[in-house]
Amino acid sequence: MPNPTAAILIIGDEILSGRTRDANMYLLAGELTRIGIDLKEVRVISDDRNAIVTTVRALSDAYDHVFTSGGIGPTHDDITADCVAEAFGRSIGVRDDARALLGAHYEARGVEFNEARMRMARIPEGATLIENPVSIAPGFSLENTHVMAGVPNVFAAMVASILPTLTGGKPLLSQTYRINRPESTVAEPLGILAQKYPALSMGSYPFANNGAFGTNIVIRGQDGAKVDAAILELAALFPAHENG
Amino acid sequence: MPNPTAAILIIGDEILSGRTRDANMYLLAGELTRIGIDLKEVRVISDDRNAIVTTVRALSDAYDHVFTSGGIGPTHDDITADCVAEAFGRSIGVRDDARALLGAHYEARGVEFNEARMRMARIPEGATLIENPVSIAPGFSLENTHVMAGVPNVFAAMVASILPTLTGGKPLLSQTYRINRPESTVAEPLGILAQKYPALSMGSYPFANNGAFGTNIVIRGQDGAKVDAAILELAALFPAHENG
């Protein structure tokens, strides 16, 4: 059975303007690989209602899971929850369990539970909450779409809450072999090896180190024995003792 | 006249698997903002022929410029140039000027100009070369799509080559005001201010510093006088002397 597929949707003008460097894609990409969910696509879009609704629909139709990041805070430009509700044709309103979580949190800290804070208890009809141990305001899953905060430590905490509830597939195994030759020397033998192992993916990543060029070859696949065999063939082509 | 629009397309399994953290989106996003080209969308997709062709077509139809990163090296999985040619219905082959650039480079270094290296001289019919002062193998522009390398220092050098040739718009101006209050306290007054200045975008970015919560408000727009006026109103609502 093939692995489940996924997309990540990052929502935020601050990423597109270059003000903020996104950290969430890299974190979640690694976690998904680890549990055997194949990340197929990432999109970054602005805090625009039409863009969010259209993109949530497109990605949730195309992939088994969609993970969103950003736009669920208390301010006027936090419109992700409303847009996800609209994408799935659901109503949205303040939900009792989310309000209770936030109310207890603010009461314990002696902070007023004002209208802006109440926005964070707005949850689409039929959604399941995603726990937020960092700042309490929850994310939610609606159908196959998991809606999480953009602030990196909150996003990471929500990812840790949601991933154990998902069914992964066979994790992608990978091995890296370092060759102290330029990529353009390695390319031809690597191409022949790749044709011999169609079930594996072979990537080459050039590097420069004190003016000398080298290439890391990463061989990935679900069948560990095949990955081992391909790495051994590669090592025979470029023996380590000729390899600096 | 509205600013030109753009999308970035990052091509590479190594980003989607979480092996490599992308650096190119952040770099180019900041440069585009600086010259007044509005980045509307970023996509990350795998080294898959159908995905590349389809996405190049969709983005080049939707935006004034498309910038791609990755997949133009010498190896078997470097298929971006062929896919961009296919997306625009052009032929592709080794081009004399690109071959001459690479040939001179390898001859000077006493390196064989083999078949894999020759792949990097394959350029679609009708494209314009993008100079690569780092490792010589050129990128290219075809119609509104600018095809560049994925290796970050090569990508940065190609961005520096291509951007001065593009016509920008009015740069987006921005000012930041720091408030030592949590985002959920700032949210309501900020929402009212945002309604008063519909031509400006106001983003709020919460932070935590030694356990105290604060919020940076970023106000952006093309009209510097309006940005100034909005920042002054915000500062009157949250005076600096009450502010830490």
* pLDDT for position A85: 98
Of A51-55, A159-163, B189-193, B214-218, the poorest mean pLDDT is in B214-218
The CATH class, in words, for A5-165 is: alpha beta
- What number is the ipTM of this complex? 0.88
Closest chain A residue by Cα to residue B77? A203
d(CA B159, CA B179): 36
Contact call for residues A81 and A123 (beta carbons, < 8 A): yes
Beta-strand relationship, A212-221 and B92-94: unpaired
- Confidence tier at B135 by pLDDT (50, 70, 90): confident
Per-residue tokens: B16: 């989607």
d(CA B187, CA A136): 17
Tell if the CB–CB gap between A191 and B42 is shorter than 8 Å. Answer: no
How confident is the model over A185-203, as pLDDT tens digits?
999 999 999 999 999 989 8
* pLDDT for position B242: 62
Which chain B residues are within 8 Å of A16, Cβ to Cβ? 29, 39-42
For chain B, what are the domain ranges?
5-165, 173-242
Q: Which residues contact B209 (CB under 8 A, 6 or more apart)?
A: none
Tell if the CB–CB gap between A117 and B17 is shorter than 8 Å. Answer: no
C-alpha dist (Å) from residue B81 to A64, A199, A205, A233, B73: 30, 24, 18, 29, 10
How confident is the model over A136-178, as pLDDT tens digits?
999 999 999 999 999 999 999 999 999 999 988 888 888 999 9
> For testing the chain B interface, which of A184, A185, A216 should be mutated: the one with the most B CBs within 10 Å?
A184
Topology adopted by domain B173-242: Alpha-Beta Plaits (3.30.70)
How confident is the model over B136-156, as pLDDT tens digits?
999 999 999 999 999 999 999
* Ranges B108-117, B200-209, B227-236, most confident: B227-236
Spans in chain A with pLDDT lower than 50: 244
In sign, the C-alpha dihedral spanning B45, B47, B50, B54 is: positive
Taking residue A28's Cβ as centre, other Cβ atoms within 10 Å add up to 25
Strand segments (E) across B14-99: 38-45, 65-69, 92-94
